[in-house]
Amino acid sequence: MGRAKVKEQDGAEATSTENEQNLRIHRLTKLHQQQQHTGDGSPQVKWQKVVYGGMQAGYEDNHTDSSFLEAMVMNANVVKRDTWTTIRDSVAIAQYVCVVAMVSAVWTYSLNGVLDASLLLILDSVLLLLGFFVLLLTTGSISVAILCRYALYFTYFVSGLYVLAPVFQTLTRSISSDSIWALTICLLMVHLCFHDYIDASTRTPPAFAASQGSKSDDLPRKLTVKKPATLSGNVSLNASIVASVLIASRLPSSLLVFALMLFSSEFFLLFPLVTCCMKQYSVKLHLGFSSVLIAVTMGLIFPLNRLALVLFVVVIIFIVLVCPYWLIRIQEYKFEINGPWDEAKLCFDLDQ
């Protein structure tokens, strides 16, 4: 009986050992099916791209497989620009430089006594009517109710300027003139640097946008309500208003202060809207108006300072011709790569 039990135990152990060997052979066979041979014939486990899999057998922790760059995309967001389009877009920047130079020239004429209050008020009225005419031309007809509403808003604005004109005149009486000139120049530089030069920075009034509903969709001048101004745009606008107040505080009469503040507000507040509508209406009209604006600015600067005129012409040529050529030349060196290793880009705009 003892010998029979020993034989049964030996048979069970042999069966268990045989099962373990069969399981090991099955695992080796399965592993062999997943292997690929390298150039020297040695077996190599296929590398897999896993996120939370730990180290893979046969590979270092910092191993980079040849398939890692298969999903790489080169220059996916690079915009190809041509010379004429770049020059045409740079005209908008030169146009706003002309605006700052023109307003500065009018400030100088007012400080020197060349422009009196009555003449400047007439100029303000003419510019306001011309701007309104351009808006009518580029945005279509406007209803009487909408026209009356915007006229009421403008009346509130002009009345506020007229009431605050004596305050502006005495606001910086205790500050020296040299400090006023230096601070004004710095504010104008901040205004130019932080100004939003893209079309999205200028919002078309909802009234003008709504008036487009009755027009056909094939008109290229169809305007829509744009996004609100950015932080840099608000900084630029505030800098221009403060600079206008500083210059107005050096004028002899409150009526001249009111006329100058109205002139500055028309250019710094309303001029971007007019040029945006004009550019969307016709590119040729936009370029023609820019040429006239440059010529008028040169005519205003010429009696003041010849060196300032030369500097102005150099800046305009640099913006319109040199910078576009420079951008086109360096574009060929732009190299951008994207792939699955990039961080996710979150979109907080619910409309997209």
Residue 338, φ and ψ in degrees, nearest 5: -135, 150
pTM over 0.95: no
Taking the C-alpha atoms of residue 10 and residue 16, their distance in angstroms, rounded to an integer, is: 10
Domain parsing of the chain, residue ranges:
92-323
Taking the C-alpha atoms of residue 136 and residue 231, their distance in angstroms, rounded to an integer, is: 30
Each residue's pLDDT expressed in tens, for the chain with a length of 352 residues: 444 444 445 555 555 555 665 555 555 455 444 444 444 445 556 777 666 666 666 777 777 777 777 777 877 777 778 888 888 888 989 999 999 999 999 999 999 989 889 999 999 999 988 988 888 888 766 667 777 887 888 889 899 999 999 998 888 888 888 899 999 999 999 999 988 887 533 344 444 444 444 443 433 344 444 456 678 888 988 999 999 999 999 998 899 999 999 999 999 988 888 888 888 888 888 899 999 999 999 999 999 999 999 999 999 999 999 999 998 888 888 877 877 777 767 766 555 4
Dihedral angle over CA of 319, 101, 162, 231, nearest 10: 30
| Residue 352 structure tokens | 């997209």
Taking the C-alpha atoms of residue 330 and residue 322, their distance in angstroms, rounded to an integer, is: 12
- Of 155, 229, 154, the closest CA to residue 196 belongs to 229
Q: What is the DSSP letter of 121?
A: H
Strand 73-74 versus strand 337-338 pairing type:
antiparallel
- Of 251, 227, 229, the closest CA to residue 238 belongs to 229
**Cβ-Cβ contacts under 8 Å for 28 (sequence gap 6 or more):** none
Q: What is the DSSP letter of 201?
A: G
Taking the C-alpha atoms of residue 90 and residue 292, their distance in angstroms, rounded to an integer, is: 16
